[in-house]
Structure 1
Amino acid sequence: MTIEVSNESGIEVAEDELIGVARFVLARMDVNPGAELSMILLDIEAMADLHVRWMDLPGPTDVMSFPMDELEPGGRPDAPDPGPSMLGDIVLCPQFAADQAAAAGHPLAHELALLTVHGVLHLLGYDHAEPEEEKEMFALQRELLEDWYIEQAARHRRDRQVERDRRLLDRSSDFHRRPEGL
């Protein structure tokens, strides 16, 4: 899966975390592993401009999604299996997200992970214009984000255990050395 990040926001963010959460969601949603996704991080002014041009809404917003290929379930039975596709672009505004994170009392990294999940779900056809759509999308968004955090914690524990094991093995090799003169 190819995920490219272009940070034009002027704010340093952990791009590897954004890629990680996007990759997790795409895999969990069973998207073809050859699919491509682009993430663009913009400043407040550029995001406000996009928001007006594409949504006809004033001011900046936190995330916008621009699907590229039309994803359709099913299709003709004699059609070849769909291959990888360009899913589209997710545009994030870290400065706007930072204000939301502060108001919600959580770190910017969490807000950006949440917005990444939200943006990916929009690319996959989920919406929240109607109450039932909102209920479905936001429940899935919560579940995916929670599962990603659980996976991150498990990976961290595994990495720490591997490091402890390596240090123990390094120390145990000292016991197997013969003292000089024997």
Structure 2
Amino acid sequence: MQVAFFDETNTITPSQEEMLYEILDLAAKKLELPENIELSLVIVSDEKIHQMNRDYRHKDAVTDVISFALDDDESDSELFEFEEIEADIPRLIGDIYISAAQTARQAKEFDQTFEQELLSLAVHGLLHLNGYDHQTDAEAQEMFGLQTSIIEEYYGE
């Protein structure tokens, strides 16, 4: 999996960035995603995520994470004569935006470190990119159960 990482807030340390790559890679393997997927992960300000939440989700509030999945209804294989060529081309699955300030507030609220909350939100975003949601109790149970499982595996629990 390829991750294009951007920190618009300049708050993420190199070790935190490395942790993000590691947990997203673990989550991708747990979800059995193909190796040629690509996504972007962007750390943003409260103001930017508030604007995005208002403009795209019609919710006028700061949120912690927003994911924009790219739906690929058309098969790429129609564009190529050889399957092995297709395997070499990364498939963009979407973008994850995380508010650094909201991450810090939630870390305090949930009595955990900034890194723990950051990794949790990154996994949450990746799950949304792959069709998981939490609109119903059953969906929430499945999604948060998987999220917890990935985080526990990352920390060796």
Do these two structures clear the TM 0.5 threshold for a shared fold by scoring above it?
Answer: yes
- Flag as ranges the 4+ runs of structure 1 deviating above 4 A: 80-84
| Structure 2 counterpart of 1:37, from 30, 36, 39 | 39
The secondary structure found in structure 1 opposite 2:141 is helix
Counting strand residues as a fraction of each chain, which structure ranks higher? 2
The secondary structure found in structure 1 opposite 2:131 is coil
| Structure 2 counterpart of 1:119, from 121, 125, 129 | 125
Whole-angstrom distance in 2 between the partners of 1:137 and 1:2: 23
Whole-angstrom distance in 2 between the partners of 1:25 and 1:132: 21
The secondary structure found in structure 1 opposite 2:151 is helix
The amino acid of 1:108's aligned partner reads: F
The amino acid of 1:128's aligned partner reads: H
Query: Which digits, 9 at most, give the CA deviation of each residue in 1:93-137, with x for residues without a partner?
Result: 111010000111110000000001100000000000011101111
Query: Which digits, 9 at most, give the CA deviation of each residue in 1:138-165, with x for residues without a partner?
Result: 1111111101111xx9xxxxxxxxxxxx
Q: Structure 1 unaligned runs (5+)?
A: 73-79, 154-182
Does structure 2 retain, via aligned residues, the 8 Å contact 1:9–1:41? yes
Query: Which digits, 9 at most, give the CA deviation of each residue in 1:55-86, with x for residues without a partner?
Result: 111121100100113379xxxxxxx7985521
The secondary structure found in structure 2 opposite 1:87 is strand
1:93 aligns with 99
The secondary structure found in structure 1 opposite 2:138 is helix
| Structure 2 counterpart of 1:131, from 115, 130, 137 | 137
Residue-pair matches, total? 144
Whole-angstrom distance in 2 between the partners of 1:34 and 1:69: 16
2:79 aligns with none
Whole-angstrom distance in 1 between the partners of 2:132 and 2:38: 18
Q: CA RMSD in A?
A: 2.0
Indicate the structure (1 or 2) with the bigger Cα radius of gyration: 1
Q: Structure 2 unaligned runs (5+)?
A: 75-82
* Percent of matched pairs sharing the same residue: 30
